Amino acid sequence: MATEVLVPPLGQTVDTVTLVQWYKAEGEQVNQGEPLFAIETDKATLDVEAPASGVLCGVSCAPGTEVTVLARIAFITAPGEALAREPEVPSPLPEKAIAQAASEPQVEAAKRPSSGHVFISPRARRLAAEHNIPLDVLQGTGPEGAVIEQDVRAYLEGESILPTTAAAEEVLERLPLSGVRAIVADRMARSASTTARVTLTAEADATALVELREQLLEDSVQVSYSDLFLYILGRALREHLRLNASLVGDAIVLWKRVHAGVAVDTDRGLVVPVVQDVDRKGLAQIAQETRALIEAAQEGKIAPDDLKGQTFTLTNLGMYGVDAFTPLINLPDCAILGVGRIKTQPVWAGGHVEPRQMVWLSLTFDHRLVDGGPAARFLQRVVQLVEKPHLLMA
């Protein structure tokens, strides 16, 4: 009996992927468990293993095609076995089958007055609702005419016609709001519109921290300033759990474990890998894990599980010469810490002026979840650990 080759589900926020390449040609022998094809999400490229051994046939999806998760894209048959019928174009499984494979349907059925039912993805439905777009005016390009997110965006672009030919000629480039950029736009918009955000700033004397890093590098311990701040945050969050929180429904949830997200700039856009249990790990281990996560993110090969579960986020723009900024909260976190560049400044100390390594820290927090006092005390503790890193050993 032929085995269906399906696009695997990748979580509740992923409803479409792009097939990058087939590792086997139609008619070739495949072995169960070996890489069969590669798919690309908005964050990474992943290999998918063959679900059975046999001969690949009935391939209905070419490289570069966007398909919905759980779509059937090929079959694997026994040698000499013929398919009962020609495979159709990739199509989503019935809603009942989808519900069994994931915690909620990836594709929903919606009524279209003129043609009955049409499939629409959750992200497409949400985007259409945000812009008050009637579903019956959308033309689906997904499997079996399903409306996917890019269809809604195409409709919106069609509505945004430049007023004059002269204005159109001034356009240098038109970049689609899709993939990682679309996700960042959606999350940042929701963060800005749903949180009661307040940003506290403090200047810290990082001279001792700079000296500590230089000593570590001399002893062949490769650590970055972001690694040091993650180490500091692990200690500070363990002591100030009100900042290690999220809003879940109508309740403020304080998390037992501390998982720190690290904002990473990649060619594909902003992604936030997560260092699990950062408060329980040593500095060298944090540095090693962070390097691996950043490398995977920049190569587009990071696993989806490494991009979720953070309880607090760190964003460091110091390497770009930024002194201070007001970061937006990475939902569902309660807060985010922004780190500026460390630079030499004249400081009055001990009755005279001397050069010190100073850094600005910016803590943005959601005032719905925590008040200014606890947030200020948390930032004060971070400053203390930056200025006196030997306290991390206490």
- Whether 119 and 89 map to the same domain: the answer is no
Question: What is the per-residue pLDDT across 331-361, written as a single tens digit (0 to 9) for each?
Answer: 999 999 999 999 999 998 888 999 999 999 9
**Is 16 within a domain?**
yes
Counting runs of H as helices and runs of E as strands, what totals does the chain give? Answer: 9, 21
- Whether 131 and 95 map to the same domain: the answer is no
> Would you mind telling me the total number of residues written for the chain in this entry?
394
Residue 366 has a CB neighbour count (10 Å cut-off) of 25
The pLDDT value recorded for residue 119 is 61
Cα distances from 348 to residues 97, 150, 184, 361, 389, in angstroms, run: 69, 57, 42, 20, 21
**Is 145 within a domain?**
yes
Cα distances from 269 to residues 13, 185, 257, 305, in angstroms, run: 17, 11, 28, 18
- Whether 74 and 143 map to the same domain: the answer is no
- Whether 239 and 355 map to the same domain: the answer is yes
Percent of the chain residues topping a pLDDT of 70: 84
The pLDDT value recorded for residue 158 is 67
How many domains are there within the chain?
3
Residue 117, pLDDT above cutoff 80: no
What CATH number is attached to the domain comprising 17?
2.40.50.100
**Is 185 within a domain?**
no
Range among 38-47, 205-214, 292-301 rated most confident: 205-214
Percent of the chain residues topping a pLDDT of 90: 53
Closest CA to 96 of 105, 84, 83, 87: 105
**Is 181 within a domain?**
no
Q: Which of 7-16, 263-272, 281-290, 363-372 has the lowest mean pLDDT?
A: 7-16
**Is 190 within a domain?**
no
Residue 89's pLDDT band, with cuts at 50, 70 and 90, is very low
Question: What is the per-residue pLDDT across 35-59, written as a single tens digit (0 to 9) for each?
Answer: 999 888 766 778 899 999 999 999 9
Which domain covers residue 50, as residue numbers?
3-101
Instruction: Find all residues with CB under 8 Å of 195, minimum gap 6, and list them.
Output: 329, 331, 366, 368
Cα distances from 172 to residues 167, 282, 361, in angstroms, run: 11, 49, 37
DSSP-derived letter for residue 333 is B
Residue 152's pLDDT band, with cuts at 50, 70 and 90, is confident
Cα(156)–Cα(89) distance, rounded to whole angstroms?
27
Please list the residues that pair with 365 across neighbouring strands: 198, 335
Residue 107, pLDDT above cutoff 80: no
- Whether 301 and 320 map to the same domain: the answer is yes
